[in-house]
Structure 1
Amino acid sequence: MQVNNNATSSIFNQVQEKQDTLFEKLASGKKVNDATGGAAAQQIIDRLTSEVEGSRQAVNNVYDGISLAQVAEGGLSSVNDDVNRIRELTLQSENGILNDGDRQALQSEISQLQDNISQTIEQTNFAGKPLLSQDGALSFQVGASASNSLDIETQDYANRLSGVLAIDLTAGTSVNDALVAADEAIEIVGGAQSELGATQNALQSTARNLTQGTVNTAEARSRVQDLDYAQASSQQAANSIQSQAALTVQAQANQQQGAVLALLS
């Protein structure tokens, strides 16, 4: 004859399984570790995780865009300083007391400034991308959707500033033509600097919004995913008591089974 204590064993197994689940959650710090812990919750966590990662990459892209704009603006600032100096030297050359040697000295400095401008144009780049030496645009993904992109235009300033780069007061360039060329260059560079400044402001605003959105999304994910340690620890303690009680009941059942079998044998 066999005495069945399957009900007691089933209760013990259920309690032990719950205890194992609590240990796993406490070890990982997560309420849901995979789809077996709640398919709907895991889908939400996966979606929010994707949004967080996408937003973080977008923030990185935005800051790359800001850095690029700052580098381009810095190069243009140097060009602007040199053009203003060329204009100043051109005005100095229109002085009746200067002789040919004096004007040659002024032109020598102008030529050096022109070389500086050309060098700045050629050497201003970001991550290997030329910013001042060719026409084009550099695109940055600054949001989760395909439409959230921003282009920063680049221009060939060697071509646009060709007038000021060709000034030679000792080889036929009139002071008036030189001043016109310098003023045009100052206007071109100043306009580009203003555009880059506006671009930086827009990107900084985008970065703030993206960062706050990322924080909000991460917090939403945390509410779904992260474990309440105090609550879980309390559940674990209660479950441990249940486990011990179930173990005791099972032991008693085994003893009773042995006694019954002894009487019947």
Structure 2
Amino acid sequence: MAIESFGPIPSSAYTSNLTSASSLTSGMRINQSADDPAGQAIVSNLNTQIDTQDMASRNANDGLSLLQTADAGSQGINDSLLRMNELALQAQNGTYTTEQRAMLNQEFQQNLETIGNLANSTNFNGQNLLNADTASIEIALGESNNTLSLPNLTPDSLGLTGLDISDPANASLALQGLNLANQQLMDSRSQFGAQQNGLTAALENIGNQNLNTLSTRSQISDTDFARAITEQVRQSILNESSAVMQAQNNQSRGNVLQLLGS
């Protein structure tokens, strides 16, 4: 009596089926180094590049936030300078008495104190931005750095210390000092704007590079579903055909043995 047996399906077929199933399940063409050693090496390098670009984007955004914080503080200083300018002009007017000018000077000095407080309290993550404690900050952008320069906007640096408007002569001198301080402030705020534009441009460039890197990684590592499904169907057909052919071969051998036995 013949004993029928099915021959083993080639291991390469099992491996191919397993690879196709893994690619379809994970969405990744390369799930282990053996799938594509060269491709895996490229993908690893691309992953490092993407991580670097992501961190550079975060750093650039932090730099933008820092500059916006500094500019907001300088806006407060600008508001105080405008009010001090109004008070100095008002104090020059000959219709005011000494007592009235003293009242104007009191508000003038309060605004001067406000400028000092803003210069010394405007900070980002514990770093003072407007009093020369931090002259510059390096923003790491991956392969390059962007240096942010920070101004000194304290009353001393602006030339405001000691000014008063207690009489018309002092008020006239105060106006001259305020004009110089205002120009210095405007220069600093223009620098803030230029540095923000520079970081924004760098951020856009990093974003474009990141998109291109992600696209390249996707082309190498992501599953081509149409191809993977086609390959899986092809392997299934080959496996079934192999099994049928093996069964027919076993049956033929059995028939021969029966004839010989009879």
| CA–CA separation in structure 1 for the residues paired with 2:89 and 2:47 | 63
Counterpart of 1:202 (choices 198, 201, 217) is 198
CA contact (8 A) 1:12 1:247 kept: no
Q: 2:135 — aligned with what? A: 136
SS in 2 for 1:166: coil
Residue 107, structure 1, aligned to residue 72, structure 2: no
Q: 1:173 to 1:22 in 2, by over 3 A?
A: farther
Q: 2:166 — aligned with what? A: 170
In terms of mean alpha carbon deviation, does 191-200 or 161-170 score higher?
Answer: 161-170
Residue 80, structure 1, aligned to residue 71, structure 2: no
| CA–CA separation in structure 2 for the residues paired with 1:90 and 1:55 | 52
SS in 2 for 1:151: strand
Residue identity (%):
28
| CA–CA separation in structure 1 for the residues paired with 2:155 and 2:96 | 32
Give the superposition deviation at 1:255. Answer: 5.3
Q: CA RMSD for the aligned pairs?
A: 2.5
CA contact (8 A) 2:115 2:155 kept: no
Amino acid at match of 1:32: I
Q: 1:249 — aligned with what? A: 245
Structure 2 length-normalised TM = 0.88
| CA–CA separation in structure 2 for the residues paired with 1:15 and 1:21 | 10
In terms of mean alpha carbon deviation, does 83-92 or 248-257 score higher?
Answer: 248-257
Give the superposition deviation at 1:248. Answer: 3.0
Structure 1 length-normalised TM = 0.87
Amino acid at match of 2:12: Q
Give the superposition deviation at 1:101. Answer: 1.6
Q: Which runs of 5+ in 1 are unaligned?
A: none
In terms of mean alpha carbon deviation, does 32-41 or 164-173 score higher?
Answer: 164-173
Q: 2:96 — aligned with what? A: 98
Counterpart of 1:123 (choices 99, 121, 124) is 121
Give the superposition deviation at 1:129. Answer: 1.6
| CA–CA separation in structure 2 for the residues paired with 1:125 and 1:64 | 13
Give the superposition deviation at 1:177. Answer: 2.4
| CA–CA separation in structure 1 for the residues paired with 2:257 and 2:68 | 89
Give the superposition deviation at 1:66. Answer: 1.2
| CA–CA separation in structure 2 for the residues paired with 1:111 and 1:188 | 20
Amino acid at match of 1:72: A
Q: What whole-Å deviation, never above 9, does each CA across 1:63-118 have from its counterpart, x for those lacking one?
A: 11111111111111110121121112111101111111211111121122122212
| CA–CA separation in structure 2 for the residues paired with 1:73 and 1:215 | 31
Residue 59, structure 1, aligned to residue 54, structure 2: no
CA contact (8 A) 2:134 2:150 kept: yes
CA contact (8 A) 1:167 1:173 kept: no
CA contact (8 A) 1:30 1:227 kept: yes
Amino acid at match of 1:89: L
Amino acid at match of 1:26: L
CA contact (8 A) 2:39 2:220 kept: yes
Amino acid at match of 1:51: Q
Q: Which runs of 5+ in 2 are unaligned?
A: none
| CA–CA separation in structure 2 for the residues paired with 1:29 and 1:77 | 52
CA contact (8 A) 2:89 2:171 kept: yes
Equivalent pairs, count: 256
Q: 1:224 to 1:173 in 2, by over 3 A?
A: farther
